[in-house]
Amino acid sequence: MKFLSNKATCNLHGQDSSYFLGWEEYEKNPYDETRNPKGIIQMGLAENQLSFDLLESWLAQNPDAAGFKTNGESIFRELALFQDYHGLPAFKDALVQFMSEIRGNKVSFDSNKLVLTAGATSANETLMFCLADTGDAFLLPTPYYPGFDRDLKWRTGAEIVPIQCTSSNGFRITESALEEAYELAKRRNLRVKGVLVTNPSNPLATTLSKQELELLLTFIATKRIHLISDEIYSGTVFNSPKFVSVMEVLIENNYMYTDIWDRVHIVYSLSKDLGLPGFRVGAIYSNDDMVVSAATKMSSFGLISSQTQYLLFIMLSDKKLTKHYLSENQKRLKQRHEMLVRGLKKIGISCLDSNAGLFCWVDMRHLLSSNTFDGEMELWKKIVYEVGLNISPGSSCHCTEPGWFRACFANMSEATLYIAIQRLKAFVDSNATNNNIQNHQPLNNTSSKKKSFSKLVFRLSFNERQRER
Ligand SMILES: Cc1ncc(COP(=O)(O)O)c(C=O)c1O
C-alpha cells in the first residue's frame, strides 16, 4: 500500500539537484578559519551579510522596535493577537515606500495592491496558484534560479519552459528566443500563461535593459499572457546601468490604460536587499484587483508574523536609515564584486560583466576536460571536494552551455573570499602543471597528484591567513 501522496514522494522538489547537493556537502565539512581551515567554503548561498552592522547599530539605538513597545508602552498583547491576513497597514505603507526609494522614487506603489507573503518563495508560488492551472506553463529565460523548479512547479503542477539565452549576446533575452520558447510549449501541448523574469537576474547578476523590458511587454501583449518580474535583488544594483523596474517602463509607455497593466506582477522580498532571509518577508504587487484578492486569501498559508511586521515597520519608516543603508550596502557589494572579479581575472578566469546581485556568473569553460555537462560535473566535483569551494554549476540553473558557474561573494568575510580565490589559483596552477606534464610524459599516479594539490591548497590557505593578520 502506498502511504504517502504523489506530491510528497515525487522528485519535483529538486533536492537532488547539484545546487542543493553542494549545500549538503558544505554542511558535512564547513570551513572555519580556526576550527576547520581545510573545510569547504560556501559560495553557493546568495546571502548578504555585508551590512548587518548597520542594522545592528540601529537596533541598539531603537530598542522599542524589537521590544514590542511604542513610546515606551508595551504593545505585546496587540501583536500577540493580531492575525489579519491583510497585514499590518503601517508596515505595508513602509514597504511600498522602501520599494519606491529603491527605484529612485520614479514610481510610487499603492499599499492596497500589495500582498504580504512569507518570502519571495511563497510570493512566486502564490502567483502561480493565481495565474496557472495544473499543466499550464510559464516561460523563463535560462539560466534561472534553481529554486524555481520547486517554487513554481512542485505543489502547483505548473510547468516551466526555458527561453534559451546564450553567451553569444551576454545571455540577453531576444525576440526569437521568446518565440521559440512559445512554440516549444505549444509542441508540448502546454498552454502558456506567462513569462517570469528575475530583474536583476539570478544567476547572471545583470539588470534587464529598457529594450528587453519593452520587448517583454510587447510579447505578453501579443500573446495575451502575464509577466512576473521577480525584483528581489533590486536594491543590490551597485554599478551602471541603473536598475529599471518593469513598473517604470509600463508607466513611461502609457500602459496604465491598457489591459497589460493588470497582467504585470512584481515579486519582492527583504531577503537580499536587507539580508533578512530568516525573517521571511516577501510581497506580491499587482494592479489586478482579482489577483490581489485571491493572493491575499492564499497568503493565510504563509503569513509574516506580526512582531516581524512591527519591527520592520519601525525600521523602514526611518528614512535616514534606509537611505544610508541602501547606498552603503551597494558600495560594499561593489567592493566585494571587484575583489572577486579582479582575483579571478589574475588567474585567467573571467566573469560575465555584471552590475548587481550577491554573486558572479563565472566562465570556466576553458577548465573543462570536455565541452559537455559531464565535463562540467567533473569540474564541479573537483572544485567541491579538492578545491573546497561550493559553487553552483550552470546546469543546476538550466544553462544551455557547459562551463558556467555561479559564485557568491557576500555571505562570507573578506578574508574567507581571499582564501577562496587563493584555493582556485592553486587549482588552476596545478591544472596547468599537470597538463604540461601530461603533454610530455605518460599519465602517472593521479592520486598522488591529488594529494600534493590538497597539500598545496592547505599550505596556501594557511600562509595567506598568517600574512593577513
Ligand atoms: C530570484 C529569487 N527569487 C526568490 C528567492 C527566494 O527568496 P526568499 O528568501 O525571499 O523566499 C530567491 C532566493 O535566492 C531568488 O534568488
* C-beta neighbour count of 293 within 10 angstroms: 13
Question: Can you say whether residue 221 is alpha, beta or left, with left for phi > 0 and alpha for psi between -120 and 50 degrees?
Answer: alpha
What pLDDT, on the 0 to 100 scale, is given for residue 433? 75
What are the residue numbers of the active site?
Answer: 145, 230, 232, 272
Query: Over the stretch 139-170, which tens digit does the pLDDT of each residue have?
Result: 999 999 999 999 999 999 999 999 999 999 99
Is residue 46 lining ligand 1, measured as CB closer than 6 Å? yes
**Residue 466: pLDDT above 70?**
no
Output the CA 203–ligand 1 centroid distance in Å: 11
SS3 of the chain: helix, strand, coil, percent, to 5: 55, 15, 35
Q: Which residues contact 124 (CB under 8 A, 6 or more apart)?
A: 148, 151, 152, 196, 228, 230, 267
Identify the burial level of 240 via C-beta atoms within 10 angstroms of its C-beta, where 0-12 means exposed, 13-18 middle and 19 or more buried: exposed
Is residue 230 lining ligand 1, measured as CB closer than 6 Å? yes
Q: Look up cell 512591527; give the residue.
A: 310
Give the max Cα distance, the chain.
79
The DSSP annotation for 302-353 comes to GPPPHHHHHHHHHHHH-HHHHHHHHHHHHHHHHHHHHHHHHHHHHTT-EE--
pTM for the model stands at: 0.91
Q: Residue 21 — very low, low, confident or very high, per pLDDT cuts 50/70/90?
A: confident
List phi, psi (to 5°) of 375.
Answer: -60, -40
Output the CA 15–ligand 1 centroid distance in Å: 16
Look up residue 149 and give its DSSP letter.
I
Is residue 270 lining ligand 1, measured as CB closer than 6 Å? no
Q: Average model confidence (pLDDT) for the chain?
A: 91
The cell numbers describing 126, all together, are 502564490
Output the CA 232–ligand 1 centroid distance in Å: 7
Query: Over the stretch 350-397, which tens digit does the pLDDT of each residue have?
Result: 999 999 999 999 999 999 999 999 999 999 999 999 999 999 999 999
**Residue 312: pLDDT above 70?**
yes
Query: Over the stretch 238-274, which tens digit does the pLDDT of each residue have?
Result: 999 999 999 999 999 999 999 999 999 999 999 999 9
* C-beta neighbour count of 438 within 10 angstroms: 12
**Residue 448: pLDDT above 90?**
no
Is residue 117 lining ligand 1, measured as CB closer than 6 Å? no
